[in-house]
C-alpha cells in the first residue's frame, strides 16, 4: 500500500499564528547565525532585497491565504441530484467487475440510514459502497469530491447519537465493516496492525484462539469496530483500569483525507515526541476529518479476573465505597454502579441465571496476577463495601459464574428496554468528577420520576460516568425525555462535567458543545475541519454545532 506523508500545507481559514511563524523563522535564523559573513554594503543591499522579497512573498501568500480562506464556503454547497446520479454511475463503473461493492438496494439504504439503538429519525444515504482497501477508499473519496457528495463512514453501527445517519441531500455511505483483516501481530511488542472494520471482540477472540495472552481492553458495545471506536473516542467498563480511546491505545492510523491523500499519523514505536499527536486529531472526529483505513493498536496482558456483586442502601453510599476502594489501589478492572430499577429490568429480561435483589448496587471485576491476589483484593473490597452499608457481598465461585454475573451487567441496554415492551430507549452519557456523581444521579432520578418516565441507570462509577436509559413509547414521552436529557446535560456541565463521557457527539449532542467547551474551542475545531475538509463533505451535520461561532458561519 502506498502511504506517503502529507507535504501539502493545510490551509487555515484565516491567516494565523502558524503562518506568521512559518515566515518569520527563517529570517530570524539568518540574522542570528554567527557563521554568516559580516554585513558589507553589498551584502546589506542583497540582504534587504532578500528580506523585501521574502516579506512580499509572505504578504502575497498571506493575502492569497486570506482570499482562499474567504473562498472556503461557510455553508457547504453540495452537488445536485443529477450530480449524485452521475457519481453513483461513476462508482459503479469504477468497481465494475467486482460484486456487491456499490449498492442502491432499498433495504441496504434503509439499514444504513437508521439505528435500532437511538431515538433519532431515519435519514437515508443515496448509495452504500463497500471498499476492500485503502486504494478503494481513495477512489470513492475522489468521486465524492468530484460531485460534491457527502460521505459518511460506517462500520459497527453501534453509535448512539445518530453518527452514521445520511445527509438530508443524500450522499455516500462508506461501509468499512468488510475491511476486517488483522494485518500483523507483533506479540513481542504487544501490538497489532489491523483494518478498521474488525471488532474488538473479534480481535480478542482471535488472540485467545492463537494462544496469545494479550487483549485490547477498550470495550464499548460488543459489535463495535476499531475504526468506529477510534472515531468516537469511546471507552467502556474497563476504562477505570485501562483508560479510554483517548489514551495511548491507538498508536497510529492510516487515514484517507478529504483531498484523497493518504497519510499515516506516525510509526509503530510505543512513544513518539515527533510533533503534536495527529493520531489524536482523528480520535473522536466521528469521520468528519478523514476515513481511517488501517490502525496499530496496543494490547495489554490478559490477567486472571473474577467478579463480585454487592448491594447498597443508596447510590451515594455505593459511590463513597467506590472512591475508597479505588484509592486503596487494589486490583480493580471494572466497577459498575447499577440502580434498583436496572436490577428489576434484569429480572424481567429473563436472561439471568438468578433472581436479583432489586436494590442499588455494584458489579465489580477484580483483576490480579494470581487467584490469591484476586482473593486478597476481594477481601479489601468486601470490608470497604460493608463499611459503607454494603450487604449481600457475593464473589463468583468459578470462571463460569463470574462470566454469568458479568453478562447481566453487559446486557444493560436490552434488559432496560424490556421494562416497557415496544418502547424505544434514549441512552444518555453524562460524566462528572466522581465526587459529584451521586448529586447528579439523584437530581436526574427525581426529574425523571416527576415526568413519569421509566428509566434504568448503570454507570462506570469509577470514572464518574453514568448511563440513564430513558424509555418512551410516543411523541409526548419523547418530548419529555428530550427536555429531561437537556436538563441532565446542563447539570453535568455545571458540575464541571461533559455531555458525553464516551458515546460521542453525533447529531444528538452537538447543541451542547459551545456551552461545554466555549466558543473559542469549538471555533478551533471548526477551523481544523475547514482546513482539512474545505468542501464540508465528510460526515456533514455531525459533531460541529449548528450555531455559528463568532462570525465564521457553519461548516457542518
Ligand atoms: C448496547 C450498546 C452498548 C454500548 N456501550 C458503550 C460503552 O460502554 N462505551 C462506549 O464508549 N460506547 C458504547 N456504546 C456506543 C458504541 O459502541 C461506540 O460509540 C463505538 O465506539 C462505535 O463503534 P462502531 O464500530 O459501532 O462505529 P459506528 O457506529 O459504525 O460509527 C461511529 C462513528 O465513527 C465513524 N467511523 C466509523 N468507522 C470509521 C472509519 N473507519 N473512519 C472514520 N470514521 C469512522 C462513523 O462515521 C461514526 O461517526 C454502546 C452502544 C450500544 C448499542
Give the model's confidence band at 547: pLDDT under 50 very low, under 70 low, under 90 confident, else very high: confident
- Please check whether residues 172 and 137 belong to one and the same domain: yes
* Domain assignment present for 9: no
Q: Is 326 exposed, middle or buried (0-12, 13-18, 19+ CB in 10 A)?
A: middle
Q: Residue 521 Cα, ligand 1 centroid: separation in angstroms?
A: 24
Total of domains in the chain:
3
The tens digit of pLDDT for each residue in 481-528 reads 999 999 999 999 999 999 999 999 999 999 999 999 999 999 999 999
| The pLDDT of residue 46 | 42
- Please check whether residues 359 and 377 belong to one and the same domain: yes
The tens digit of pLDDT for each residue in 195-211 reads 999 999 999 999 999 99
Residue 42 predicted with pLDDT over 80: no
* Domain assignment present for 194: yes
- Please check whether residues 100 and 243 belong to one and the same domain: yes
The pLDDT mean for the chain works out to 87
Instruction: Give the domain-ending residue among 251, 271, 302.
Output: 302
φ, ψ dihedrals at 367, nearest 5° = -135, 145
Question: Following DSSP, what letter does each residue of 431-449 receive, concatenated?
Answer: B--GGGHHHHHHHHHHHHH
* Domain assignment present for 354: yes
The tens digit of pLDDT for each residue in 396-414 reads 999 999 999 999 998 888 9
Q: List pocket residues of ligand 1, CB cut-off 6 Å.
A: 117, 152-160, 163-164, 176, 196, 220-221, 224-225, 227-229, 231-232, 234-236, 286-287, 291-292, 413, 502-504, 539, 542
Which region, left, alpha or beta, applies to residue 97 given φ > 0 means left and ψ of -120 to 50 means alpha?
left
- Please check whether residues 461 and 359 belong to one and the same domain: yes
* Domain assignment present for 547: no
The tens digit of pLDDT for each residue in 330-365 reads 999 999 999 999 999 999 998 888 899 999 999 999
| The pLDDT of residue 410 | 87
Nearest-atom index, ligand 1, CA of 504: 19
Instruction: Give the domain-ending residue among 247, 269, 302.
Output: 302
Residue 36 predicted with pLDDT over 60: no
- Please check whether residues 120 and 197 belong to one and the same domain: yes
- Please check whether residues 376 and 474 belong to one and the same domain: yes
Q: Residue 520 Cα, ligand 1 centroid: separation in angstroms?
A: 27
Residue 197 is part of a domain; what is its CATH number? Answer: 3.30.465.10
Q: Which residue has the cell 470514572?
A: 463
Test site for ligand 1: of 160, 221, 230, most ligand atoms within 8 A of the Cβ? 221
Please name every residue paired with 287 in a beta bridge, in sequence order, or none if there are none: none
- Please check whether residues 62 and 86 belong to one and the same domain: no
| The pLDDT of residue 278 | 97
| 373-to-26, 46, 213, 306 alpha-carbon distances in Å | 59, 75, 19, 11
The tens digit of pLDDT for each residue in 213-266 reads 999 999 999 999 999 999 999 999 999 999 999 999 999 999 999 999 999 999
Range of the domain at 99: 78-302
Instruction: Give the domain-ending residue among 302, 337, 352.
Output: 302
Q: Are residues 151 and 174 in contact, defined by beta-carbon separation less than 8 angstroms?
A: yes
Distance CA 293, CA 287 (A): 11
Give the model's confidence band at 279: pLDDT under 50 very low, under 70 low, under 90 confident, else very high: very high
| The pLDDT of residue 160 | 96
| The pLDDT of residue 546 | 87
- Region 47-54: mean pLDDT is 43
Residue nearest to atom 52 of ligand 1 (CA): 221
Distance CA 180, CA 190 (A): 19
- Helices 475-494 and 437-451 meet at what angle, rounded to 10? 160
Sorted by sequence, the CB contacts under 8 Å of residue 386 that are 6+ apart come out as 393
- Please check whether residues 93 and 59 belong to one and the same domain: no
| The pLDDT of residue 132 | 97
Give the model's confidence band at 75: pLDDT under 50 very low, under 70 low, under 90 confident, else very high: confident
Full 3-state SS string of 199-256: EHHHHHHHHHHCCCCEECCCCCCCCCEHHHHHHHCCCCCCHHHHCCCCCCCEEEEEEE
Distance CA 310, CA 318 (A): 9
Q: Residue 81 Cα, ligand 1 centroid: separation in angstroms?
A: 30
The tens digit of pLDDT for each residue in 181-199 reads 999 999 999 999 999 999 9
Residue 395 is part of a domain; what is its CATH number? Answer: 3.40.462.10
* Domain assignment present for 246: yes
Q: Return the SS3 of 422.
A: coil
- Please check whether residues 296 and 311 belong to one and the same domain: no
Residue nearest to atom 29 of ligand 1 (CA): 157
CA angle 246, 200, 268 (to 5 degrees): 55
C-alpha cell at 287: 469521520
| The pLDDT of residue 34 | 32
* Domain assignment present for 522: no
Residue nearest to atom 27 of ligand 1 (CA): 228
C-alpha cell at 217: 481492553
**Residue % of the chain over a pLDDT of 70:** 85
- Please check whether residues 450 and 485 belong to one and the same domain: yes
- Please check whether residues 107 and 250 belong to one and the same domain: yes
| The pLDDT of residue 24 | 27
Q: Residue 160 Cα, ligand 1 centroid: separation in angstroms?
A: 8
Of 289, 288, 176, 292, residue with least CA distance to 539: 288
Residue nearest to atom 4 of ligand 1 (CA): 221
* Long-range contacts, stretch 50-56, CB < 8 angstroms, 24+ apart: 51/27, 54/23, 54/26, 54/27
- Please check whether residues 245 and 284 belong to one and the same domain: yes
- When comparing pLDDT for 60 and 387, which is higher? 387
Distance CA 232, CA 286 (A): 5
* Domain assignment present for 407: yes
* Domain assignment present for 543: no
Q: Is 23 exposed, middle or buried (0-12, 13-18, 19+ CB in 10 A)?
A: middle
Residue 14 predicted with pLDDT over 90: no
Nearest-atom index, ligand 1, CA of 287: 44
Amino acid at each position: 500500500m502506498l502511504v506517503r506523508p502529507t507535504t501539502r500545507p493545510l490551509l487555515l481559514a484565516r491567516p494565523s499564528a502558524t503562518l506568521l511563524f512559518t515566515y518569520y523563522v527563517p529570517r530570524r535564523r539568518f540574522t542570528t547565525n554567527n557563521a554568516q559573513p559580516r554585513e558589507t554594503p553589498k551584502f546589506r543591499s542583497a540582504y534587504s532585497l532578500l528580506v523585501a522579497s521574502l516579506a512580499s512573498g509572505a504578504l502575497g501568500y498571506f493575502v492569497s491565504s486570506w482570499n482562499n480562506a474567504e473562498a472556503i464556503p461557510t455553508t457547504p454547497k453540495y452537488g445536485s441530484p443529477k450530480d449524485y446520479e452521475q457519481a453513483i454511475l461513476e462508482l459503479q463503473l469504477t468497481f465494475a467487475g467486482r460484486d456487491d461493492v456499490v449498492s442502491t438496494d432499498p433495504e441496504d439504504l434503509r439499514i444504513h440510514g437508521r439505528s435500532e439503538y437511538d431515538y433519532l429519525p431515519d435519514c437515508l444515504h443515496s448509495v452504500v459502497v463497500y471498499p476492500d482497501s485503502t486504494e478503494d477508499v481513495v477512489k470513492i473519496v475522489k468521486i465524492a469530491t468530484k460531485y460534491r457528495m457527502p460521505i459518511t463512514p460506517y462500520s459497527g453501527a453501534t453509535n448512539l447519537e445518530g453518527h452514521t445517519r445520511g445527509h438530508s441531500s443524500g450522499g455516500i455511505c462508506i461501509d468499512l465493516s468488510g475491511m476486517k483483516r488483522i494485518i500483523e501481530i507483533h506479540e513481542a511488542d504487544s501490538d497489532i496492525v489491523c483494518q478498521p472494520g474488525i471488532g474488538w471482540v473479534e480481535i480478542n477472540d482471535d488472540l485467545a484462539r492463537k494462544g496469545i495472552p494479550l487483549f485490547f481492553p477498550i470495550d464499548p458495545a460488543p459489535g463495535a469496530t476499531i475504526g468506529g471506536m477510534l472515531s468516537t473516542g469511546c471507552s467502556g467498563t474497563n476504562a477505570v483500569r485501562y483508560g479510554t480511546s483517548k489514551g495511548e491505545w491507538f498508536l497510529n492510523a492510516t487515514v484517507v483525507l478529504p483531498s484523497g491523500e493518504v497519510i499515516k499519523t506516525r510509526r509503530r514505536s510505543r512513544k513518539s515526541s515527533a510533533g503534536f499527536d495527529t493520531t489524536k486529531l482523528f480520535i473522536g472526529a466521528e469521520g468528519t476529518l478523514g476515513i481511517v483505513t488501517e490502525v496499530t493498536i496496543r494490547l495489554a496482558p490478559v490477567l486472571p479476573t473474577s467478579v463480585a456483586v454487592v448491594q447498597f442502601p443508596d447510590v451515594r453510599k455505593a459511590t463513597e465505597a467506590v472512591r475508597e476502594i479505588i484509592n486503596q489501589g487494589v486490583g480493580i478492572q471494572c466497577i459498575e454502579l447499577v440502580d434498583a430499577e436496572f436490577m428489576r429490568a434484569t429480572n424481567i429480561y429473563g436472561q439471568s441465571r438468578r433472581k436479583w435483589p432489586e436494590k442499588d448496587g455494584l458489579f465489580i471485576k477484580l483483576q490480579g496476577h494470581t487467584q490469591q491476589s484476586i482473593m486478597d483484593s476481594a477481601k479489601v473490597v468486601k470490608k470497604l463495601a460493608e463499611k459503607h452499608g454494603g450487604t449481600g457481598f457475593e464473589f463468583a465461585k468459578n470462571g463460569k459464574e463470574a462470566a454469568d454475573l458479568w453478562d447481566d451487567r453487559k446486557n444493560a441496554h436490552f434488559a432496560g428496554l424490556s421494562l416497557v415492551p415496544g418502547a424505544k430507549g434514549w441512552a444518555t452519557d453524562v460524566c462528572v468528577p466522581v465526587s459529584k456523581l451521586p448529586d447528579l444521579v439523584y437530581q436526574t432520578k427525581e426529574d425523571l420520576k416527576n415526568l413519569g418516565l421509566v428509566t434504568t441507570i448503570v454507570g462506570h462509577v469509577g470514572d464518574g460516568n453514568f448511563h440513564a436509559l430513558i424509555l418512551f413509547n410516543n411523541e409526548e414521552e419523547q418530548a419529555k425525555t428530550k427536555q429531561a436529557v437537556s436538563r441532565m446535560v446542563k447539570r453535568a456541565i455545571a458540575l464541571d462535567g461533559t455531555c458525553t463521557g464516551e458515546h460521542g457527539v453525533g447529531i444528538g449532542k452537538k447543541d451542547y458543545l459551545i456551552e461545554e467547551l466555549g466558543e473559542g474551542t469549538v471555533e478551533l475545531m471548526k477551523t481544523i475541519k475547514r482546513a482539512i475538509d474545505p468542501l464540508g463533505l465528510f460526515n456533514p451535520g455531525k459533531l460541529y454545532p449548528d450555531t455559528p461561532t463568532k462570525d465564521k458561519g457553519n461548516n457542518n
